[in-house]
Amino acid sequence: MVIIAKDGTGDFTSIQAAIDAVPMSSRTPTILLVRMDEYHEKVIVNKDNIRIVGEARDRTVITNSGCAKDLNEEGKEKGTFLSYTFLVTGSNVEVENITIRNDAGDGQDVGQAVAVYAAGDRGVWRNVRMIASQDTLFCGPTMPKVAKDALPRLIPEGVISVGDCPLVLNRQYFEDCYIQGDVDFIFGPYRCWFERCTLFMNERGGFYTAANTPEQSEQGLVFHRCKLTGACPPGLAYLGRPWRPYARTVFLHCEMDECVSPEGFQDWGGGAAITERCGEYGTTGARADQSTRHPRQKRLTAEEAELLTLHEVIGGCDHWNPQKRTPTWFLCGDSTMCPYPPQCYPLTGWGQPLAMLAEDVFVENDAGGGRSSKSFVAEMRLNFIELCLRKGDKLFIQFAHNDETEEPEVHTVPRVTYPEYLGMYIDAARRQGAEPILVTPIVRRCFDESGRLVSTHGDYPAAMRDLAEYRGVRLLDMERASAELVQSMGPEAAKALYNWQEKGHPNYPDGIQDDTHLSFTGAARFARLAMALLAESENR
């Protein structure tokens, strides 16, 4: 997990700097946790598999003031598509719990001013506030001028003219979002599903949507169980108008208050007319009566509405279902579990190969060297993880190596403060619907003169076992399992499991004899032990 904090307490002080540091390709999503503050940035997310999470939606804000009337180097107006605050061109990007604004002002003065430009595929937006005036949210491909604007960050060039867009297959999913604007403030050619979102019309009034769905595409913008409201006078908020002739926009089971026009959709003056590709079903609220709607607007039947499913609209040939999340295993622990950079090889935390062994899950290794159950909490690492935990995730909790030390910042007492701190992890996981899993510490390579392995963890493992039973938490007894493995190998052979290196090693020229931390071989063996224990516990 990467922490972004303007005050310098995180890994980066700007969101863009953190994104630029993410590798171009990774199987596991990189989680960027953005601390509460207002970030005045123009952000470009040009990497795949990124998850951006705000600490608090209304107090974690990304804002910029670009507008269509801004001038380029040639003195010409930049236009709509260079006005964005937040541009996503990567695929499998998730944005959660954050506010994105364009503060350029009223469209009558500044023209279009995009807050969010969603250009990638399989984009997921949860509990995000998007606020602007004209053209708040655009869901569509990039153009050469956008790619040029993004330099030195490379983004794909999609189409020459978005207005006359050819068939595009990219998809976006919005859940529990708040989207505010006035003129055509949700627009574009992509297939998009909006679930339980609030659409808020500014005082000026205007059009919630302006789709330009390609002729070949059967689906466009679908709003399901959304609420349409606003601050404009009654009747000044139209459901939408067609940006191009084949616009496809449907409202299913949405609540519409009196600010919505009784006419529903409206033709584009001097342009495209409403067709049966625009419609609604199951509307509730002050504007539930569809008898006054535009004569060409579609009144869907129950059978037709039933066929407009999430899978049908955005599932695609890959059967994408953003409502079915891939679970994440979050690892909380110390230096025996944490990830190490290549220059430390063969030193390896056992959480690293665990990510290679686990199937159909993501592994987020947030363990850190020198951490105890106490210091991990004090550094707010648990708080940050809790913000990212979701139902179905797992939280693995392995501490003791540093709890044993006498340093006051990290020391805990086995039968007193140690279980108290462990209880904080259990509670954090359960609050989010995740499963806490306690993991006893792995053994050190410590043998007596008779060749018998000596326990070095005192009463900590027993205290964790008792807590697991008391709190009804699953336990992976890595201390016992690793002790059996190390004892069976004996003092000499067991060196292969730990970071014992002869002089002349490229990363350890003076050699090293480490009986606590693992080699890659040892980390892989211990990770397999953990997977075996996990499987056994699931079958009980």
Q: Which one, of 187, 347, 145, lies nearest residue 272 by Cα?
A: 187
Describe the chain by its helix, strand, coil percentages, rounded to 5: 25, 25, 50
How far apart are alpha carbons 96 and 145 in whole angstroms? 28
What does the buried/exposed string (b/e) look like for 259-298 if buried means 16 or more CB atoms within 10 Å of the residue's CB?
bbbbbbbbebeeebebbebbbbbebeeebeebeebbeebb
How far apart are alpha carbons 419 and 475 in whole angstroms? 14
In the three-class reduction of DSSP (H, G, I as helix; E, B as strand; rest coil), residue 342 is classed as: helix
Q: Which one, of 442, 451, 460, lies nearest residue 515 by Cα?
A: 442
Q: Which one, of 325, 17, 433, 195, lies nearest residue 6 by Cα?
A: 17
How far apart are alpha carbons 194 and 437 in whole angstroms? 35
CA–centroid distance for 429 within its chain: 17
User: Which tokens is 236 given?
Assistant: 């000044």
Active-site annotation, residues = 335, 502, 517
Amino acid occupying residue 196 = R
Cis (ω within 30 of 0) for the bond into 152? yes
**Radius of gyration of the chain from Cα atoms?**
27
Looking only at the bridges linking them, the beta strands covering 227-230 and 198-201 are parallel
C-alpha dihedral sign at 62, 65, 69, 75: negative
How far apart are alpha carbons 305 and 312 in whole angstroms? 11
Amino acid occupying residue 461 = P
Amino acid occupying residue 318 = D
In the three-class reduction of DSSP (H, G, I as helix; E, B as strand; rest coil), residue 299 is classed as: strand
The residue whose two tokens read 């269509």 is 68
Q: In what order do the strands lie in the sheet with 435-439?
A: 362-365, 328-332, 394-397, 435-439, 474-476
Q: Which one, of 223, 116, 125, lies nearest residue 180 by Cα?
A: 116
Contact 189, 165 (CB under 8 A): yes
